[in-house]
Amino acid sequence: MEQNPNWWKQAVIYQIYPRSFQDSNADGYGDIPGIISRLDYLKTLGIDAIWLSPVCRSPQYDNGYDVSDYQDIDPMFGTLEDMDRLISEAKKRDIRIILDLVLNHTSHEHPWFLEAKKSRDNPYHDFYIWRDAEPGERTDGSIADFGDGSWQWVPEVEQFYYYQFSVWQPDLNWSNPKVRQALYDMINWWSDRGVGGFRLDVVDHLGKEPFQHIKVDGPKLHDYIKEMSAAAFRRPGLVTVGEAWSSNPTSAKLYSNPDGSELSMVFQFEHILLDKQPGGDKWDLAALPLRKFKDVMCRWQQSLHGCGWNSLFYENHDLPRIVSRWGDEGKYRVESAKMLAILLFGMEGTPYIYQGQELGMTNIHLGLEEYNDIETRNMIAARRAAGYSDESILRSAYGRSRDNARTPMQWSDAPNAGFTEGTPWLKVNENYPEINAEKQVDQPGSVFECYRELIRLRREYPVITGGSFDLLLEEDEDIFAYTRTDGAHKLLVICNFRDREIENPLKEQLRNMTCLISNYDMPSDTLRPYEAMMYYQ
Ligand code: GLC
């Protein structure tokens, strides 16, 4: 792997949400020793790298996305020595560790912020973004919803500071070169410790201009990323992925320019934003418009081919479970989980699997008081105040709460799914006796074995890494089908998105091809509920 600086183009990356993965000391929270104890499971799956959601020291108002010390591990997760051991144990298994870098903001408990708010002439004051009160402006203003961005008054300095997410996450002032240098030094410190890459939290916010009401894609954004890349990302084999909700194929070509001037790739969210009511926000649910989805995926596949690089994902710690979202979490859970996997893994880009996705884990139904996530709790309060019924609020939370992805990993049918011997910080999904890793590893026909085989196929067939993409049956309302083609070979993927049997318009074409993987045992001329097939010639 070391010889190939672009190893990540053939790789599959697995995301771990540490507090929910594996607890080793019965405190109810997952931790780094717990992760180490599960590395062999990940090796069996066949992944190449682990993206770890934040493990740095944090008061955990936003589960670690509020960092109070970038160069230490939160005691909840272990120690720096545990982290070093994770890096070396993973390396022994040819697995790299990718850290989550939260560079847009710190915690309000970060020493930089504690200094910054002492006085206006403190050397750290300019590490954050401040403004004076307008004449007559109230300074006891209400606190904005998560992600809406607002200003918060600090009596010590008689100024407001800017925050994009929660009030406990003051935004760093990226126009200050000292801030940027301090962050680059920190990144290099982690690379020196053996980290193999970074995921950059809300990277499209770094160039914000709050005084001009520009939150994302600010005029200096790409200059900052280029500068950071030159200062901290030019190490052979280092992989970087930016989270960029605002990205489009044009900006993604800059972010993932093959000349290496910015990042390896970005997470784009165009497909993720399709299933909501027009004009609504993510809590206003709608069914997935399949034709739009096909169009979006096709556009991204084709636009970046040869001049950028895609990431391929459905789930992460902020999103609901895909089988509950676009598949069927009931009768066809196994079939639809595999269908969605086959669809994604035939595309060009680097696939990401979020913990439990490889088991077909589903959303959870919590009571309104049981939600833990700060964003969900803010939504509940805001919608209650606006007069929404509890029933409709619950429907939104079931469908979209970030807690859906954050319930503990389901390892076995032991108490608490084998996640902890203590009391888990968030309820375990009650379907764990049926859906768990022990029941699926080495079990032919399981969702896990399907992911394992897809990972193997990606390594074996170069057309999956490099072939060009063409959409088939564009107008079809039920089927997502495409080909990947290079000089010598062709891959054809066909997926039925419906829970009923339908005609297979491509059956003649498939006769001369070999089936690499499918989600039904016996072949058929029709497409059965959620049937998916990958063919090759
Ligand atoms: C990103 C993270 C999310 C976090 C937010 C603020 O969107 O993925 O979990 O709350 O940034 O850091």
Nearest CA to ligand 1 atom 12: 65
Q: Is the pLDDT of residue 2 over 70?
A: no
Q: What is the pLDDT of residue 141?
A: 82
The CATH class given to the 466-536 domain equals mainly beta
Q: Is the pLDDT of residue 1 over 50?
A: no
Looking at domain 7-106+189-362+429-451, its CATH architecture is Alpha-Beta Barrel (3.20)
Is the C-beta atom of 102 inside 6 A of ligand 1?
Answer: yes
What is the set of active-site residues? Answer: 201, 243
Percentage of the chain with pLDDT > 70?
99
- Tokens in use for 257? 């320019």
pLDDT, one tens digit per residue, over 321-377 is 999 999 999 999 999 999 999 999 999 999 999 999 999 999 999 999 999 999 999
Phi and psi at residue 96, in whole multiples of 5°? Answer: -100, 155
Percentage of the chain with pLDDT > 90?
97
Is the C-beta atom of 66 inside 6 A of ligand 1?
Answer: no
Pocket test for ligand 1, best of 61, 104, 105, 202 (most atoms within 8 A of CB): 202
The closest-lying atom of ligand 1 relative to the alpha carbon of residue 165 is 6
pLDDT, one tens digit per residue, over 366-423 is 999 999 999 999 999 999 999 999 999 999 999 999 999 999 999 999 999 999 999 9
Q: From the CB of residue 86, how many other CB atoms can be counted at a distance below 10 Å?
A: 24
Q: Are 430 and 408 in contact (CB under 8 A)?
A: no
The CATH class given to the 111-162 domain equals alpha beta
Instruction: Give the start-to-end residue ranges of the domains of the chain.
Output: 7-106+189-362+429-451, 111-162, 466-536
Q: From the CB of residue 185, how many other CB atoms can be counted at a distance below 10 Å?
A: 13
| Alpha-carbon gap, residue 305 to 292, rounded angstroms | 20
Exposure of 272 by Cβ count < 10 A (0-12 exposed, 13-18 middle, 19+ buried)? Answer: buried
Average pLDDT of the chain, as a whole number = 97
Greater model confidence, 148 or 65: 65
Where do we find the tokens 């970005």?
266
Residue 4: pLDDT band by 50, 70, 90 thresholds? confident
Is the C-beta atom of 62 inside 6 A of ligand 1?
Answer: yes
Is the C-beta atom of 216 inside 6 A of ligand 1?
Answer: no
**Sequence letter at residue 351:** P
| Alpha-carbon gap, residue 363 to 341, rounded angstroms | 17
Report how far ligand 1's centroid is from the alpha carbon of 251 (Å).
20
pLDDT, one tens digit per residue, over 163-187 is 999 999 999 999 999 999 999 999 9
For 351, residues 6+ apart whose C-beta sits below 8 A from its C-beta are 12, 13, 311, 312, 313, 344, 345, 458
